[in-house]
């Protein structure tokens, strides 16, 4: 993946749709003097560039001096945001913000009663959408008006405002505590992935219990429940307790079903909840439920609520295609799964400026697994190399398993001379990160024996069978589950023993599970 552009103005210009660009041109022409025509030329220049290069920009536009470029860019950035602000947006945050601006204008005009009427409407709307930060701002402004002027707007105004303020502050404090905890748990996962050992599992559980507010489960507010479910969700996911993970992701999604207005107010949280629900079905191996949830999410992903927001559209693409790949994994349809890879690659390129590295790493690993499962080991290595050679400080678990799969792919290709060096290197890498489980120790042991012996086919067959016998009892051990999530080593070993393609083995297992149901 190429180095992403870091220039903020260039990113903003490239994010604009045709209608937004046209609106900006009309806005700047109508509201600016002739001195601002230079920023229009700068806008057009940035719009035509594929990659931001300041030296090329200055060379092509001699009227823009290097010493004035910084100020011009800052001015253009502000004007673009101002033009975007004028385009009608139904987002509840922006609606409340606009109403607050109107209330302040009326206050400054000395029209206190009119200002209070707007604030009353804001309070009702803020409560309807659980926007307690705005509710607190409204109450603060109301108290300011009442403390400065005698409005006689209602009896017992002071005591009523004090009670409302105390209730809003208490609720906001609870939401703040729970959202902080959910963020810390999610951050742990992004940095380390799943729990690596018993100590990780215990420490995450203790951290949750020590930081949960008293009687957190008794809270009935939308955001308190949302962040509480997220706390339990991330804890269960890190600890590899997939049944609990499923239960709380389902509660997360059901919360939005109960309060459907909040889907519009918190679209990103709803989309994230659906993503985790699809992930939970995958982790539990429930292909039927996963297929149903994908169909539900795909319909929602095509709705105007998603398609008219760049952020929601990008999230929708990420989560939908990750879920689709996971469904191919469960069914063993690796070759069929490769049909969506060109679409994913095109979107990764189109959304390059907006995607975080974590998402890109996940796609690279999953695509590598599709190629490996379909028998195209050369292409699998290409994607694994992208992960290994991309120096990023996150998802150490993904880095480890990319290297482990890299070893297995080289083994399949018969690159034994390279494999001897790589095995030592990967072993040291995983040992340094304290990421070696019992499963991985046994895999490394197998690779060393296979390399050392230049083994005959019969000896290799015996080695495969021995490794399978050693790993089978660990398949349902929670403390070893992590290894099987990232790599279906059992099916690979069975394919080697039976001398069949790995996807054929997985397809057969999937059919047997369906018949048992």
Which pLDDT belongs to residue 4? 46
Q: Are 153 and 143 in contact (CB under 8 A)?
A: no
End-to-end CA distance of the chain: 43
For residue 308, the 8-state DSSP code is T
Label each residue of 461-477 as H, E or C: HHHHHHHHHHHHHHCCC
Which pLDDT belongs to residue 88? 63
Q: How far apart are CA 448 and CA 427, in angstroms?
A: 11
Which pLDDT belongs to residue 384? 93
Which pLDDT belongs to residue 148? 79
Residue 156, pLDDT > 90, answer: no
Long-range contacts of 218-224 (CB under 8 A, 24+ apart): 219/174, 221/130, 221/171, 221/174, 221/175, 222/130, 222/255, 222/259, 222/262, 223/130, 223/132, 223/175, 223/178, 223/179, 224/171, 224/174, 224/175, 224/178
Which pLDDT belongs to residue 393? 63
Q: Quick one: CA dihedral 299, 301, 307, 309, positive or negative?
A: positive
Which pLDDT belongs to residue 58? 85
Q: Are 204 and 244 in contact (CB under 8 A)?
A: no
Output the average pLDDT for the chain: 86
Residue 454, pLDDT > 60, answer: no
Sheet strands (E) in 123-234 = none
Q: How far apart are CA 358 and CA 314, in angstroms?
A: 14
Which pLDDT belongs to residue 513? 84
DSSP H/E element including 13:
helix 8-15
Q: Among 35-49, 155-169, 226-240, which range has the highest average pLDDT? A: 226-240
The domain ranges of the chain are 8-86, 92-153
Provide the H-helix boundaries in 35-154.
Answer: 37-48, 54-60, 66-86, 92-108, 112-128, 132-148
Q: How far apart are CA 237 and CA 56, in angstroms?
A: 48
- Model confidence band, residue 378 (pLDDT cutoffs 50, 70, 90): very high
Which two three-digit tokens encode residue 226?
Answer: 């949302």
Which pLDDT belongs to residue 2? 40
Q: Which residues contact 138 (CB under 8 A, 6 or more apart)?
A: 100, 119, 122, 123, 126
Which pLDDT belongs to residue 200? 85
Q: How far apart are CA 157 and CA 207, in angstroms?
A: 43
- Model confidence band, residue 13 (pLDDT cutoffs 50, 70, 90): very high
Mean pLDDT along residues 17-24: 90
Which pLDDT belongs to residue 179? 94
Residue 125, pLDDT > 50, answer: yes
Q: Nearest to residue 269, comparing CAs of 394, 183, 168, 364?
A: 183
Q: What percent of the chain has pLDDT over 70?
A: 92
User: 66-86 and 8-15 are packed helices; what angle lies between their axes, rounded to 10 degrees?
Assistant: 40
pTM of the model: 0.82
Which pLDDT belongs to residue 32? 67
Residue 90, pLDDT > 70, answer: no
Q: Which residues contact 370 (CB under 8 A, 6 or more apart)?
A: 325, 328, 334, 337, 338, 341
User: 66-86 and 18-31 are packed helices; what angle lies between their axes, rounded to 10 degrees?
Assistant: 110
User: pLDDT tens across 277-331, in order?
Assistant: 999 999 998 999 999 999 999 999 999 989 888 889 999 999 999 999 999 999 9
Residue 89, pLDDT > 70, answer: no
Residue 452, pLDDT > 70, answer: no
Residue 359, pLDDT > 60, answer: yes
Q: What percent of the chain has pLDDT over 90?
A: 39
Which pLDDT belongs to residue 3? 42
Lookup result for tokens 């209330």: 103
Mean pLDDT along residues 108-130: 90
User: pLDDT tens across 222-249, in order?
Assistant: 999 999 999 999 999 999 899 999 999 9
């Amino acid at each position: 993946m190429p180095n992403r552009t870091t220039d903020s103005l260039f990113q903003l210009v490239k994010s604009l749709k045709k209608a937004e660009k046209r609106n900006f041109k009309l806005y700047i022409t109508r509201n600016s003097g002739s001195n601002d025509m230079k920023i229009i030329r700068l806008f057009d220049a940035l719009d035509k560039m594929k990659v931001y290069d300041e030296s090329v920009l200055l060379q092509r536009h001699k009227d823009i001096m290097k010493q004035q470029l910084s100020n011009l860019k800052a001015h253009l950035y502000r004007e673009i945001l101002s033009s975007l602000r004028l385009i009608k947006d139904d987002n509840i945050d922006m609606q409340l913000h606009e109403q607050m601006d109107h209330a302040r204008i009326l206050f400054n005009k000395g029209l206190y009663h009119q200002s209070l009427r707007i604030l009353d409407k804001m309070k009702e709307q803020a409560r309807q959408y659980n926007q307690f930060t705005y509710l607190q701002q409204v109450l603060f402004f109301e108290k300011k008006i009442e403390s400065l002027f005698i409005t006689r707007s209602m009896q017992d105004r002071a005591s009523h405002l004090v009670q409302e303020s105390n209730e809003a502050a208490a609720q906001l404090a609870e939401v703040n505590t729970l959202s902080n905890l959910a963020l810390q748990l999610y951050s742990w996962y992004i940095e380390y992935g799943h729990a690596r050992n018993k100590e990780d599992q215990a420490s995450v559980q203790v951290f949750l219990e020590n930081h949960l507010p008293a009687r957190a489960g008794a809270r009935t507010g939308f955001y308190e429940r949302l962040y509480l479910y997220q706390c339990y969700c991330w804890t269960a996911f890190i600890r590899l307790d997939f049944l609990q993970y499923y239960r709380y992701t389902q509660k997360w999604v059901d919360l939005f079903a109960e309060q459907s207005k909040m889907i519009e107010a918190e679209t990103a949280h709803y989309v994230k909840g659906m993503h985790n629900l699809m992930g939970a079905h995958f982790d539990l191996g429930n292909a039927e439920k996963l297929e149903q949830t994908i169909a539900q999410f795909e319909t929602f992903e095509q709705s105007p609520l998603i398609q008219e927001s760049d952020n929601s559209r990008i999230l929708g693409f990420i989560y939908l295609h990750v879920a689709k790949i996971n469904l191919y994994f469960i069914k063993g349809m690796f070759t069929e799964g490769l049909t969506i890879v060109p679409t994913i690659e095109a979107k990764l390129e189109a959304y390059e400026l907006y995607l975080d590295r974590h998402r890109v790493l996940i796609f690279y690993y999953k695509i590598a697994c599709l190629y490996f499962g379909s028998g195209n080991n050369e292409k699998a290595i290409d994607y694994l190399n992208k992960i290994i050679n991309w120096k990023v400080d996150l998802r150490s678990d993904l880095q480890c398993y990319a290297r482990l799969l890299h070893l297995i792919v080289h083994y399949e290709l018969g690159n034994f001379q390279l494999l001897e060096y790589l095995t030592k290197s990967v072993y040291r890498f995983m040992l340094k990160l304290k990421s070696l489980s019992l499963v991985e120790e046994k895999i490394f042991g197998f690779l060393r024996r296979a390399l050392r012996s230049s083994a005959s086919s019969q000896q290799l067959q015996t080695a495969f069978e021995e490794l399978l016998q050693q790993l089978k009892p660990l398949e349902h051990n929670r403390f070893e589950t992590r290894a099987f999530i990232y790599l279906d080593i059992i099916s690979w070993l069975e394919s080697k023993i039976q001398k069949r393609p790995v996807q054929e083995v997985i397809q057969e297992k999937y059919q047997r599970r369906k018949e048992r149901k």
